Amino acid sequence: MNRYLFVAADFLSRPPGFYVMVVAMVLCTLLVPFGLTNVVTYALSVAAIVITGVVLIQGYRDTAAIHAKLDELILAMAETRNDVVGLEHAEPHEIKSKLTQLEDEAARATRRADDLTNGS
């Protein structure tokens, strides 16, 4: 089932898929004068739900790819810590805690670099 959703999301997120949705909307709009307002409303509601799903699926795929690439960079660099790999799967409070820790470390490193630059 996921494969079909990813294929549909991939198709609908590209120009041909967009054109299909535009044609479907125009056809639905042309049906209104024939008293098919309920059908048009239903069709456009389904189209809106499908488009929302496409956006969510594409966002998921992009985010997953970015995380994989970042994890690869972290693992490839010898001087990095690997404890942040997979952090996207942690609980929100764990992510916030780790982010605070990393920001504190970055601030300390910046202060050390400034001290070295200024000769202190």
Residues 16 and 56 in one domain: yes
Residue 32 has pLDDT above 80, yes or no: yes
Residues 20 and 77 in one domain: yes
Q: Provide the pLDDT for residue 1.
A: 64
Q: Decide: 13 and 56 in contact? Cβ < 8 Å.
A: no
How far apart CA 41 and CA 39 sit, in angstroms, is 5
How far apart CA 37 and CA 32 sit, in angstroms, is 5
Q: Where are the alpha helices (DSSP H) in the chain?
A: 2-12, 15-31, 37-76, 92-118
Residues 6 and 64 in one domain: yes
The answer to whether the pTM exceeds 0.85 is no
Instruction: Supply the range of the domain harboring residue 48.
Output: 2-81
Residues 28 and 58 in one domain: yes
> What is the pLDDT averaged over residues 2-28?
83
Residues 45 and 99 in one domain: no
Number of domains in the chain: 2
Residues 75 and 94 in one domain: no
Q: Provide the pLDDT for residue 92.
A: 81
Terminal C-alpha separation, the chain: 62
Residues 74 and 51 in one domain: yes
Residue 108 has pLDDT above 70, yes or no: yes
Q: What are phi and psi of 119, to 5 degrees?
A: 80, 20
Q: Provide the pLDDT for residue 120.
A: 58
Tokens found for residue 12: 């609908």
How far apart CA 56 and CA 109 sit, in angstroms, is 37
Length of the chain, please? 120
Residues 61 and 103 in one domain: no
Residues 45 and 67 in one domain: yes
